[in-house]
């Protein structure tokens, strides 16, 4: 492995550092030279990845789940309308197997359950990078499914922005952003407000035949949210930056529960605060090097109020607190003109403290997790073969323990700690076949640690199992990448065939009124994903993405073995034609778009008895740049008013239409509006 490590390479590092070393040497970056820099994945150019930036069609009332659902290899499962719980699957993974980062801080916690993307605000996003089937080494922890990395705004000019809007189901929002720059000092602040009644109509056929279904309104589905951030950046000279930020998020929402629930009034509240201090340099480790270090703290409070146990099994007033302290250092340096080394050290400490003032059964047990990861990656460019070889190794380790509680809600002595050490490895090849085309291949072993709930249970309905093994997966993908441009047109296209073999998957087995986590799961996933962006002239653009996924359950449960994994649709297709920056007058331009989303071949249950109906959804929108730095956006989704759902009993909204008016103190036209 050490030999392989010294011969490996990361295509991103090799490409741009070799370019700095010698302009005439062909490198991997020439394959994608037609793409703007901001549209490339920053952490790993050899990965199968997608990038979402502000160079996209301006729409009203966007959300993180909506943007991600348009990308290949991604399935979003929602439990309702705007702001509702939404989880992500990458290439047939579980939501637990996907890591979600914001500015380098993982939102995943030791308690597990995946990240609720519905509670990740979009207002301060600058870019989203999605790495499917792999984890770039700079993130420290690995993930079987992949990584979603969100980067927030970095101020680089002086401006004030305000936008306000509203639309379907009593939804209103107001956003404000201020960026201020003075010499080497940059400051950014923002505040976002959102409220929605959420009372959308739907067809309730719960426990009834379709002929007797009745049209009702989704109740207790309101949402009230406030979020924002403050960020300060100091340029200390010679390519070095110090930055600090504080982001906050607060939400109170109703929980309507199963669609046929007579009188729902349960509530869910989420409060989160994240503080980060970081240092970044491009010279400390030599020519074309990079050093990044950050320390952070994250506090999350989840409040679940269900006094009549309409959703939970018992009366509940739970306040679950999770506090995380952590730090990450990642670096890269050019050891030779053909060899670049990279490394990472990541550590964090999670504290989970649950409480329940009403429940007769505790909502969980206090627990802690100490996690650490260290890794090394190298970049070796084989000039005669125009070939990059990537190899990396890392080790992840965790130590978990809980105090536990008995049935009378009394704390028990500290349990025996559970420790795991996980070796992670990756090998990739990138072959340049032309200045505008390349072939890439990736293979790696990744893992997921059992959550503290799976290890220790909640001393109530869920029983723990301290003997659980970590989930592991062998992932591989291969395919071509093409990036071509002419004076008036541009094409970016990539296709990957992928495979994942997952073992020791953790599932809860039910019996005698209890559930206990066991390593009884396995999966074999094969698929093909493809995406393309075509620009023709200054105005026309077409985006297309599609995924075919064959996900089979290989667990020891007879009724599930050989069945398709639930909530992993076999077919996904998305397309959006656009006509952009159409000049009406010297001071007014407009743009229009339409989009279509097709999903088919999906099941709700692991035995494939309950089928999710195939869906064909349409959307459209228009925007206009007006004098005085005004912009108006109108967009609609599910314009055919199709009755859809991802989970039984949890309907999704029908037709949605929103309108947004934006003003900026400076010319704030989106990049795609001025080709």
Q: Which domain holds residue 421?
A: 2-258+273-673
% of the chain surpassing 90 pLDDT: 68
- Mean pLDDT for all residues in the chain: 87
Q: What is the model's pTM?
A: 0.90
In a domain, 267, yes or no: no
Contact between 621 and 587 (Cβ < 8 Å): no
First to last CA, the chain: 48
Using alpha carbons only, what angle is made at residue 489 by residues 28 and 538, rounded to the nearest 5 degrees?
A: 130
Which tens digits make up the pLDDT trace of 27-83? 333 233 334 545 678 888 889 999 998 778 778 989 999 999 999 999 999 998 888
The residues that bridge with 171 in the sheet, in sequence order, are 167, 196
pLDDT tier for residue 274 given thresholds of 50, 70 and 90:
very high
Interacting residues of 361 by C-beta distance below 8 A, sequence separation 6+: 313, 314, 407, 458, 459, 460, 461
Find the helix or strand (DSSP H, E) in which 600 lies: strand 589-600
In this structure, is residue 382 part of a structural domain?
Answer: yes
Residue 82 confidence (pLDDT): 87
Residue 361: pLDDT band by 50, 70, 90 thresholds?
Answer: low
Return the pLDDT at 303. 93
Q: How far is CA 251 from the centre of its chain?
A: 20
**Residue appearing with tokens 């999704």:** 652
Q: Is the residue at 265 inside a domain? A: no
In a domain, 32, yes or no: yes
* H or E stretch at 648: none
Q: Which two tokens stand for residue 600?
A: 């088919």
CATH number for the domain spanning 414: value is 2.40.170.20
448 in a structural domain: yes
Read off the pLDDT of residues 257-272 as tens digits, 9 standing for 90 and up.
Answer: 887 666 678 899 999 9
Strands of 410-511 (E only): list them.
418-434, 437-448, 462-463, 471-485, 489-511
Residue 264 resides in a domain: no
Q: In angstroms, rounded to a whole number, what is the distance separating the alpha carbons of residues 2 and 389? A: 14
pLDDT at 86: 94
Structure tokens at 38: 């901001």
Residue pair 515/461 in contact by the 8 Å Cβ criterion: yes
| 199 domain-assigned | yes
* Element counts in the chain: helices (H) and strands (E): 4, 36
Structural domain includes residue 327 = yes
How many separate domains does the chain show? 1
**208-212, 378-382, 500-504: which range is least confident on average?**
208-212
The residue to which tokens 């960026």 are assigned: 179
Q: How far apart are CA 23 and CA 244, in angstroms?
A: 36
Q: How far is CA 374 from the centre of its chain?
A: 23
Q: Would you say residue 153 has pLDDT above 60?
A: yes
Question: What pLDDT is stored for residue 8 in this prediction?
Answer: 35
């Amino acid at each position: 492995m050490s030999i392989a490590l010294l011969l490996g390479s990361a295509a991103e590092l090799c490409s741009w550092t070799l370019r700095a070393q010698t302009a005439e040497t062909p490198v991997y970056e020439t394959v994608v030279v037609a793409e703007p820099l901001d549209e490339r994945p920053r952490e790993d150019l050899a990965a199968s990845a997608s990038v979402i930036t502000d160079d996209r069609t301006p729409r009203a009332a966007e959300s993180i789940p909506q943007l991600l659902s348009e990308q290949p290899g991604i399935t979003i499962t929602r439990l309702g309308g705007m702001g509702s719980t939404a989880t992500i699957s990458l290439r047939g993974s579980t939501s637990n197997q996907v890591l979600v980062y914001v500015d380098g801080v993982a939102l995943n916690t030791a308690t597990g359950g995946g990240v609720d993307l519905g509670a990740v605000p979009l207002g301060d996003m600058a870019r989203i990078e999605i790495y499917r089937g792999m984890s770039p080494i700079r993130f420290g922890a690995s993930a079987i499914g992949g990584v979603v990395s969100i980067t927030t705004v970095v101020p680089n000019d002086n401006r004030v922005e305000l936008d306000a809007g509203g639309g379907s189901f009593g939804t209103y929002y107001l956003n404000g952003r201020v960026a201020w720059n003075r010499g080497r000092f940059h400051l950014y602040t923002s505040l976002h407000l959102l409220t929605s009644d959420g009372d959308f109509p739907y067809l309730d056929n719960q426990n009834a035949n379709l002929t007797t279904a009745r049209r009702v309104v989704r109740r207790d589905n309101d949402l009230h949210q406030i979020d924002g951030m403050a960020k300060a950046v100091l340029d200390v000279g010679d390519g070095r930056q110090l930055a600090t930020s504080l982001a906050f998020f607060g939400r109170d929402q109703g929980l309507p529960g199963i669609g046929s629930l007579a009188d729902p009034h349960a509530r869910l509240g989420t409060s989160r605060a994240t503080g980060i201090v970081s240092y970044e340099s491009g010279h400390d480790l030599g020519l074309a090097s990079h050093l990044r270090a950050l320390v952070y703290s994250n506090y999350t409070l989840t409040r679940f109020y269900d006094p009549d146990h309409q959703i939970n099994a018992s009366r509940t007033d739970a306040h679950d607190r999770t506090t995380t302290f952590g730090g990450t250092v990642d670096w890269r340096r050019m050891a030779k003109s053909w060899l670049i080394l990279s490394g990472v050290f990541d550590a964090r400490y999670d504290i989970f403290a649950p409480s329940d003032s009403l429940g007769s059964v505790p909502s969980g047990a206090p627990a802690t997790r100490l996690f650490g990861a260290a890794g090394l990656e190298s970049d070796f460019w084989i000039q005669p073969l125009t070939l990059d070889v990537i190899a990396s190794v890392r080790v992840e380790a965790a130590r978990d323990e809980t105090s536990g509680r008995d049935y009378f809600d009394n704390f028990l002595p500290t349990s025996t700690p559970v420790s795991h050490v996980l070796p992670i490895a990756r090998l990739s090849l990138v072959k340049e076949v032309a200045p505008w085309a390349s072939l890439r291949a990736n293979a790696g072993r990744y893992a997921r640690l059992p959550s503290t709930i799976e290890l220790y249970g909640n001393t109530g309905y869920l029983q723990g199992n301290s003997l659980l093994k970590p989930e592991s997966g062998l992932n591989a993908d291969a395919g071509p990448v093409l990036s071509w441009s002419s004076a008036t047109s541009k094409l970016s296209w990539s296709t990957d065939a992928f495979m994942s073999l997952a073992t020791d998957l953790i599932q809860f087995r039910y019996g005698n009124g209890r559930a206990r986590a066991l390593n009884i799961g396995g999966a074999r996933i094969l698929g093909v994903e493809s995406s393309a962006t075509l620009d023709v002239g200054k105005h026309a653009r077409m985006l297309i993405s599609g995924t075919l996924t064959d996900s089979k359950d290989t667990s020891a449960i007879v009724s599930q073995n050989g069945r398709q994994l639930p909530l992993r649709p076999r077919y996904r297709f998305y397309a959006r034609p656009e006509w952009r920056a159409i000049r009406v007058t010297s001071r007014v331009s407009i743009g229009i778009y339409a989009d279509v989303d097709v999903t088919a071949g999906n099941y709700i249950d692991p035995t494939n008895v309950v089928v999710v109906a195939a869906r064909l959804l349409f959307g459209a929108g228009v925007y206009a740049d007006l004098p005085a730095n005004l912009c108006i956006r109108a967009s609609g989704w599910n314009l055919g008013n199709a009755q859809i759902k991802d989970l039984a009993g949890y309907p999704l909204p029908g037709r949605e239409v929103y309108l947004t008016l934006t003003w900026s103190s400076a010319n704030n036209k989106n990049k795609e509006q001025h080709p």
